[in-house]
Every structure is written in structure tokens, then in C-alpha cells.
Homo-oligomer: A and B are copies of this chain.
Amino acid sequence: MSALSPEETAWAAADAMWATDYASKALGMEIIDVGPGSAILSMVVRDDMANGHGMAHGGFIFTLADSAFAYACNAYDLITVAAHCSITFIAPAKRGDKLVARAREISRVGRSGIYDVQISVGDAVIAEFRGGSRQIGGSFIEGKQINA
């Protein structure tokens, strides 16, 4: 095949992942942008993601961040998994809020990477996430081509 640019590779890997990412789809996530080592995803806090006070369960904020992390660290089309993640909750999000998670690469050395994800609602930062990734080998795009 003709060589893909880094941006094209990031989108091709994202498309291949998204096809079977039933979890992120079921939560109503949308991919706003992807690039080499970066990704922006959004999700609206639904009623079934909230507690009785109408505030988002922290697990769903984490899940959006974790998805953004996954699209960012797999954007080189080298299959990579999350090894360790941490999140600090800064402010609550409420039902109906549109969460935006912006993932960016902090470090990538050998098979290990570090990615930071900021989760915000409008201008307000809701949480800060940091993920450590480990490349395990394999390709999304090639796998897809083989199946085509």
C-alpha cells in the first residue's frame, strides 16, 4: 500500500478500533480528533451515568479518559494497552454536561508510554488523568486489510 502520513495512520487505526469498540459507542462517545499520540473524545453525562444528586459517577469520567488514552496511544498503529492509570477528580460534572477529554503524549520510550488526559466541561477542568501504556505488538490496519 502507499505510505500513510502520521495523521492518516492515526485515523486509520482509530477507525479500525472504533468498529468494534462497543463500549465507547454504547456510552455515546464521539471521536472529535486523533493524531500521532493524541486524541480528543466527547461524551454527554446521561441519567444512567449519574448518582442521585445528578452528578456523574467518577467511573464514567475515567472511562471517557481511558478511551481517549487508548486512541492516542494506538495512533501509531502499534497495538498498545493500558498498564496503569491514575485520575484526580477536581470538580463534579452534572447530568447533561458534555465532557471533553483531550489526550496528549508525554513520553514514549521503547514499548512504554505516558499519556495525560484533561477532562473538561466548557472551560472548567473536571479531572486530570495519567495513563501508562505498553505496546504489545500487532497492527490494527494490517489486521483489517487481511480481513478485507
Q: Using a CB–CB distance below 8 Å, which chain A residues touch chain B? A: 17, 19-24, 26, 47-53, 56-60, 62-64, 66-67, 81-91, 106-107, 109, 112, 114, 116, 118, 125, 128, 130, 132
Contact A57 B66 (CB under 8 A): yes
Within the complex, which residue of B48, B87, B125 is in contact with A23, where a contact is CB–CB below 8 Å?
B48
A-B contact pairs, 11 of them (CB 8 A): A19-B52, A20-B53, A22-B47, A22-B49, A59-B60, A63-B63, A83-B88, A86-B86, A90-B112, A90-B114, A114-B128
On chain B, the residues within 8 Å of A48 by CB distance are 22-23, 26
Q: Which residue of B lies closest to A130 (CB)?
A: B130
